[in-house]
Structure 1
Amino acid sequence: MNSFSTWYWLIGFILLLGMPLIYVPAVRKAGFSGWWVVLAWVPVVGLVLLWIFAFARWPAEPDR
Structure 2
Amino acid sequence: MGSSFEGIFIVVLVLYAATIVFPCWRIISRTGLPGALGLLALIPLVNLILLWVLAFIDWPALKKTGTANV
Question: How large is the RMSD of aligned CA atoms in angstroms?
Answer: 2.4
The match for 2:46 is: 45
Unaligned runs of 5+ in 2: none
Q: Which amino acid aligns with 2:31?
A: A
TM-score scaled by length of structure 2: 0.62
User: How many residues end up aligned between the 2 structures?
Assistant: 61
Q: 1:22 to 1:40 in 2, by over 3 A?
A: closer
- Give the ranges of 4+ consecutive aligned residues of structure 1 lying more than 4 Å apart after TM superposition: 8-11
Gaps of 5+ in 1: none
- Normalised by the length of structure 1, the TM-score is 0.66
Task: Label 1:26 to 1:38 Cα distance change in 2 as closer, same or farther (>3 A).
Answer: same
C-alpha offsets along residues 10-49 of structure 1, whole Å, 9 cap, x if unaligned? 5543221233222212211111111211112111211111
Kindly name which structure, 1 or 2, has the bigger radius of gyration based on alpha carbons.
Answer: 2
Identical residues among aligned pairs (%): 25
